Amino acid sequence: MTASIPTIPLLIGGKFVQSSTTQWRDVVNPATQEVLARVPLATAEELAQAVAAAKAAFPAWRKTPIGTRARIFLKYQQLIRDNIKSLAALLTAEQGKTLADAEGDVFRGLEVVEHAAAIGNLQLGELANNVATGVDTYTLLQPLGVCAGITPFNFPAMIPLWMFPMAIACGNTFVLKPSEQDPMVTMRLVELAIEAGIPNGVLNVVHGAAEVVDAICDHPDIKAVSFVGSTRVGTHVYNRASLNGKRVQCMMGAKNHAIVLPDANKEQTLNAIAGAAFGAAGQRCMALPVVLLVGEAQQWIPELVAKAQTLKVSSGTEPGTDVGPVISCAARERIESLIERGVADGATLELDGRKPVVPGYEQGNFVGPTIFSGVRPGMAIYDQEIFGPVLSIVAAKDIDEAIEFINANPNGNGTAIFTQSGAAARRFQEDIDVGQVGINVPIPVPVPMFSFTGSRASKLGDLGPYGKQVVMFYTQTKTVTARWFDDSTVAQGVNTTISLK
């Protein structure tokens, strides 16, 4: 390997160590194709060492006072705040987001760290006094043991911060596998977590691809696995880890829809659609790739196209950039091929974003905002998750048809409605079969007091990441029924029934 290109370490037992693997992958700036670093595909032995370190650290960490755990995350959130600009710059270099969007990526993760600092209020059990004579029943929310997280390329700061802070705050230890495409900002966040005081072995990091994912699913000492990524991989993780007796939560792919009613505020709605469809180059599981224009709102297509044409496509570091590059050459080629398929399938290409001219970044993986109208199920651009800046427009005669159309799609990650009618909005939130609903909000990702609640084919597992749900995911409920006697207690004799008296 070239000595001038840095290598990404593993974190095992509190030490950053170089992998002994012979398999490495380049971390590439998607705007320039510059190789920024090389990441190892860890060996089976290295994963085993990371799990062993986490298992060894668990007995002491689970006994650590909850206030001590909380104070670590109070310090950690301040370290993230102090370094948010440099974290965003690192994220932009390896992932391609604009600096503003990268900072938002870090900030949404920071919100979960702040929530983890309130673990003393979240990890509370319940108590009922005198359920029978002198008998109390109460519950304890106790940590599981070693937990693991597998994160995607599109949110290399936010999603790791969804996972390990809440798991560790609950008293577990953790093994993190970041995306091998952009692990640099994740590792910087891990460094800050160690600086904040997370003890040796409580947080460990291994890098890798499919083999490491399978090894995590199979390892007998890992009690729970959290995954965010594609439906294909997520389904595999869920099935494999579940068969091995683990708790699993998998947040997966999506095909999010929005309904636009004719009474919606036009300018605000068009701005919202353009931002949600083309922001982050469409590489969000909560992006907005499908819009149903109801009735007269179908006349807004030219204005939506005009809005999209004003967006600047360039490197995320360039001032005023709205749409950065997609993550890889392969991703760009796939998006371009799906646009070609859309034309072949009979959709109307209202705006073609293929091969935009980006001065100074001719080697970048750029796709500009692309809009199709006349889209229907059965077309590849509708049936597949494109994960690029491609918006499909579907015509609907009324809200009933629009709701029925959305509910027929197998995915249920997010949806939205744009209207000024409270009655229409209330009906939509009641009748739509999707986990996360926005009302005049195009990307309804909840704040950490709540939990991410995708549904149907977009989610496997009952409990979502962060919020109250994730405390239940990362803990086991132990129910205790207790009676104490003293010398003045009158003996009641032998009771051979199941009831308490």
For the entire predicted model, the pTM comes to 0.96
Candidates 257, 240, 293; CA nearest to 410 is: 257
Residues whose CB is less than 8 angstroms from the CB of residue 404 and which lie 6 or more positions away in sequence, other chains included: none
DSSP secondary structure code for residue 300 in this structure: G
pLDDT at position 491: 76
Q: What stretches of 345-398 show up as alpha helix (H) in DSSP?
A: 380-383
Give, in degrees to the nearest 5, the angle at Cα 305 between 30 and 284: 40
Q: Tokens 């990524």, residue?
A: 229
Q: What is the distance between the alpha carbons of residues 215 and 200, in angstroms, rounded to a whole number? A: 22
pLDDT at position 344: 98
Q: What is the distance between the alpha carbons of residues 379 and 344, in angstroms, rounded to a whole number? A: 9
What residue ranges of the chain have pLDDT lower than 50? 1-2
Q: Tokens 């290409």, residue?
A: 349
Q: What is the distance between the alpha carbons of residues 297 and 261, in angstroms, rounded to a whole number? A: 6
DSSP run (H or E) holding 245: none
Q: What is the distance between the alpha carbons of residues 18 and 40, in angstroms, rounded to a whole number? A: 8
pLDDT at position 3: 57
Q: Is 475:123 a contact under the CB 8 Å cutoff?
A: yes
> CB count, 10 Å around CB of 127?
11
285 is an active site residue? yes
Q: What is the distance between the alpha carbons of residues 31 and 36, in angstroms, rounded to a whole number? A: 12
State phi, psi for 399 to the nearest 5 degrees: -65, -30
* 251 strand-pairing partners: 228, 459
Sequence length of the chain is 501
DSSP secondary structure code for residue 118 in this structure: T
Give, in degrees to the nearest 5, the angle at Cα 331 between 330 and 335: 115
Q: Is 222:147 a contact under the CB 8 Å cutoff?
A: yes
pLDDT at position 348: 98
Give, in degrees to the nearest 5, the angle at Cα 31 between 228 and 278: 55
Summarised one tens digit per residue, pLDDT across range 395-429 is: 999 999 999 999 999 999 999 999 999 999 999 99
| Beta pairing, strands 370-373 & 203-205 | unpaired
Q: What is the distance between the alpha carbons of residues 332 and 338, in angstroms, rounded to a whole number? A: 10
Q: What is the distance between the alpha carbons of residues 325 and 450, in angstroms, rounded to a whole number? A: 32
Q: Tokens 């149907």, residue?
A: 456
Candidates 167, 160, 214; CA nearest to 182 is: 160
Give, in degrees to the nearest 5, the angle at Cα 76 between 75 and 77: 95
pLDDT at position 342: 98
Task: Choose the catalytic residue: 170, 217, 285, 329.
Answer: 285
> CB count, 10 Å around CB of 34?
13
> CB count, 10 Å around CB of 235?
16
Q: What is the distance between the alpha carbons of residues 306 and 390, in angstroms, rounded to a whole number? A: 15
